[in-house]
């Protein structure tokens, strides 16, 4: 998105380097993400919006979708693969080839609304995966949990009237995109955290608000919008989480998945812009997923 944009290719390199250095890479299977189809995208995005993105994709230079989000000649392919990774992840866990998937992808997705790109996001990757699970595998209860520092406004917008999706989100507030505090249906659980909140506050929010609702919902599949920009080293925000907070919440989610969803989890990368902290946090997240 530009030489000084925080949503850069270096994010994925930092993660891969950390997985190699800590030895996790050798115990992981690797898959190339396919391109999401228009049919898969249009389950969660208006067809007119999808067409707009295809037409907006530049052959050279940049095309801005909002003040934070632009496309270069390679962005459409990257966005299609980011959404396609979530689809493949669902296929892998639903066919029993594995029980947990991490999609190391960019651009992120959880700010992309049904008909609007924003916040570095073009297509809503996690929503595309969840809709694929509902449509193709006829699941009745899918949970999405989002611990990015920013509220997943796009995911809420897409599934606001879909009670088969339980959406649980923690985020800093007040903060971009300044959503998440309005009245919502019962299947949406928003937990705003004040600037300066630490791991203890985050864990209390998850224990008090997320876990009881997940237990009552008994999801058949859990998807994670895994944003690591709430880390204390990330200057994109003012929350104060550390590596082990992400490991802790992953273990809690895994416990629910093991109990109700046959262990099936798909996690997809959202935010996280302090490269060292991002790599370490993803490694802690994957270590917890591996058990």
Nearest to 43, CA basis, from 138, 162, 170, 131: 131
* pTM listed for this prediction: 0.98
How many CA atoms within 13 Å lie on the side-chain side of 280? 14
Between 291 and 121, the more confident residue is: 121
Task: Please give the pLDDT value at position 2.
Answer: 84
What is the arithmetic mean of pLDDT over 54-67? Answer: 97
State the catalytic residue, choosing from 4, 31, 74, 111.
Answer: 111
Q: CA 59: distance to chain centroid?
A: 28
Domain spans in the chain, listed from the N-terminal domain onward? 10-290
What is the arithmetic mean of pLDDT over 260-269? Answer: 98
Contact assessment for residue 239 and residue 195, using Cβ atoms and an 8 Å cutoff:
yes
Task: Please give the pLDDT value at position 52.
Answer: 98
Contact assessment for residue 145 and residue 126, using Cβ atoms and an 8 Å cutoff:
no
Report helix angle 10-22 to 275-290, nearest 10.
50
What is the arithmetic mean of pLDDT over 31-59? Answer: 98
Task: Please give the pLDDT value at position 1.
Answer: 86
Nearest to 154, CA basis, from 127, 193, 185, 189: 127
Q: What is the pLDDT of residues 202-254, one digit of tens each?
A: 999 999 999 999 999 999 999 999 999 999 999 999 999 999 999 999 999 99
Task: Please give the pLDDT value at position 262.
Answer: 98
- CATH superfamily, domain 10-290, is Histone deacetylase domain (3.40.800.20)
Q: What is the pLDDT of residues 154-168, one digit of tens each?
A: 999 999 999 999 999
111 is a catalytic site residue: yes
What is the arithmetic mean of pLDDT over 173-188? Answer: 97
Q: Give the span between the Cα atoms of 237 and 188, in whole angstroms.
A: 23
What is the pLDDT of the chain when averaged over all its residues?
97
Question: With pLDDT > 70 as the criterion, what percentage of the chain qualifies?
Answer: 100
Q: Give the span between the Cα atoms of 227 and 153, in whole angstroms.
A: 14
Residue 109 pLDDT > 90: yes
């Amino acid at each position: 998105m530009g030489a000084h944009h925080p949503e850069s290719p270096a994010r994925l390199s930092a993660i891969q380097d950390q997985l190699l250095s800590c030895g996790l890479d050798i115990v992981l299977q690797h898959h190339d993400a396919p391109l999401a189809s228009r049919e898969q995208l249009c389950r969660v995005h208006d067809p007119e919006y999808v067409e707009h993105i295809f037409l907006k994709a530049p052959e050279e230079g940049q095309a801005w979708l909002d003040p934070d989000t632009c496309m270069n000649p390679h962005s459409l392919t990257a966005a299609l693969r980011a959404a396609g990774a979530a689809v493949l992840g669902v296929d892998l866990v639903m066919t029993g080839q594995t029980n947990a998937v991490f999609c190391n992808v960019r651009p992120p997705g959880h700010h992309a609304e049904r008909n609007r790109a924003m916040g570095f996001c073009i297509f809503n990757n996690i929503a595309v995966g969840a809709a694929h699970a509902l449509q193709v595998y006829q699941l009745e209860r899918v949970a999405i949990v989002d611990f990015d520092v920013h509220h997943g406004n796009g995911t809420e917008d897409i599934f606001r009237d879909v009670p088969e999706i339980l959406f649980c989100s923690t985020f800093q507030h007040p903060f971009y995109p300044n959503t998440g505090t309005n009245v919502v249906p019962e299947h949406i659980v928003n937990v705003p955290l004040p600037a300066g909140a630490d791991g203890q506050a985050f864990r209390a929010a998850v224990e008090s608000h997320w876990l009881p609702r997940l237990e009552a919902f008994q999801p058949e599949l859990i998807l994670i919008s895994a944003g690591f920009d709430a880390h204390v080293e990330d200057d994109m925000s003012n929350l104060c989480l550390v590596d082990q907070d992400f490991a802790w919440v992953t273990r809690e989610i895994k416990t629910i998945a093991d109990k109700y969803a046959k262990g099936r989890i798909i996690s997809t990368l959202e935010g996280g812009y302090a490269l060292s902290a991002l790599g370490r946090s993803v490694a802690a997240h994957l270590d917890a997923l591996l058990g």
